[in-house]
Amino acid sequence: MATSPTALPTVVLVHGAWADGSSWRLVVPLLLDKGISVVAVQNPTTSLAADVEATRLVLDSIDGPVVLVGHSWGGAVITQAGNDPKVKALVFVAALPPKAGESVGDLVGSHPSPPGLSQIIDDGRGMLKLSPEGWVRDVAQDIPEQDARVLAAVQPPLPASTFGDRITEAAWTTRPNWFIVSAADRVVSIELQRELATRLNARTTELDSSHLSILSQPRAVADVIVGAVDAVAAAG
């Protein structure tokens, strides 16, 4: 008797700080073209707990297995939210996945600061943004300048307190992982990314890209995600 093909897992995409779900706008159609169901989370980026809750609401709405993908700060979000039993694999893109008891601030402080961090502006009330020039020179230096300035204009603020929010259970300790290192990153330490990929025992890809490989090299990013989807499907 012939068996029906295994349904592909759904991909859930989690954006980073100073961004929203539209960060994934070039990756999403490439996944849809492969017949993969995709949902991009709209996180509030007000705290780790709030972002995890927003991600869990999306996970609750999905039947079947999930490949959970996080960019940058989203790496911390999926590290916590990924403990949902539906989540079968994690993909980290220039991401910051702490271990249990650790915060993103701990990770960032463990290496010399890249130049982009000097472009963070505090409004005096603990709300942070990146300067327009920081977006152009340090965050998105390999996409058109006008596009980078649009990203600066629409960025939501990030509370400084998020850097101290700690993980309680790290999903990457119990699930297969993929990690995309941005080898021309000027806002998250390249050495830190490589160190984290090793710590996670991740299948690692390096791209010669800015922090925003999801916009400058969306096909390469999508290819890694498809690889994770295929691995989960093959595992049944």
pLDDT digits (tens, 9 = 90+) for 90-135: 999 999 999 999 999 999 999 999 999 999 999 999 999 999 999 9
Q: How confident is the model at residue 7 (pLDDT cuts 50, 70, 90)?
A: confident
* CB 162 within 8 Å of CB 48: yes
List phi, psi (to 5°) of 130: -100, 140
Output b/e per residue, 88-101; b: 16+ Cβ within 10 A. bbbbbbbbbbbbee
The closest of 181, 164, 179, 166 to 99, measured between CA atoms, is: 166
| Strand pairing class (158-159; 127-130) | antiparallel
- Cα(98)–Cα(167) distance, rounded to whole angstroms? 7
Q: How confident is the model at residue 2 (pLDDT cuts 50, 70, 90)?
A: very low
Asked whether residue 63 carries a pLDDT value surpassing 60, the answer given is yes
Instruction: Tell me the DSSP string of 98-166.
Output: PPTT-BHHHHHHTSPPPGGGGGEEE-SSSEEEE-HHHIIIIISTTS-HHHHHHHHHHPPPEEGGGGG-B
DSSP state of 171: G
The structure tokens listed for 55 are: 């991600």
Q: How confident is the model at residue 62 (pLDDT cuts 50, 70, 90)?
A: very high
| Strand pairing class (87-93; 120-122) | unpaired
Q: What is the CA angle 79-115-68, rounded to 5?
A: 20
**Residues 72-83: what's their mean pLDDT?**
98
